[in-house]
Amino acid sequence: APEPSVQLGGVHDGQVTLDGLTELVIQRILIGDDVAASKYFSGKPVDDPVREQQILTSVRASAGRLGIDLDATAAFFQAQIDASKVVQRGLLADWAAHPDKAPTSGPDLNVIREKLDALTTQLLAELVRVDHLRQSGLRCDIALVVANATGAARHHLDPLHRRALRTGSAATC
């Protein structure tokens, strides 16, 4: 007879959702607005390949310590960087075309990067927590659709930020 209540191997994670991860992904996307404002004033390019490499090298090292896959972790953070660039390019184009909509002050990029680094630590902890779900195929896809829909609604995301959320979700499952 089957023993339906007992599952070995850590497979009973049916209650795990991607809501916590998605909340952090959205928080990172929203910080993209601050990055865009800072670059609107500094004139610095959206792309900073050196900073990107620093992030990716650092998260690979963290993944090794945390016991999660290095390539999957780097791919996840590359998607978050790409999402930030979607926001930055969208806002900078909008502000160039409509200077009246542009911000009147821009935050310090170093302060913003400290916030992004803090989010990286939180995101890594969530990646550990949802590691098994991330590898579950269709179950992960479904959890992601649910988390993104509820997250986008909760934060009243506009089309640009919804597009960024899709970009940031590219390597989640």
Ligand X SMILES: O=C(O)C(=O)C[C@]1(C(=O)O)C=C[C@@H](O)C=C1
CB of 17 to ligand X, least distance (A): 24
User: Tokens representing 111?
Assistant: 């302060």
- Site for ligand X, rule CB under 6 A: 35, 47-48, 51-52, 55, 81, 84-85, 109, 113, 116
Quick one: 16 or 109, whose CB is closer to ligand X? 109
Quick one: 13 or 52, whose CB is closer to ligand X? 52
CB of 100 to ligand X, least distance (A): 24
CB of 62 to ligand X, least distance (A): 15
Quick one: 23 or 52, whose CB is closer to ligand X? 52
Tell me how far apart the alpha carbons of residues 104 and 151 are, in angstroms, rounded to a whole number. 29
DSSP 79-101: HHHHHHHHHHHHHHHHHHH-GGG
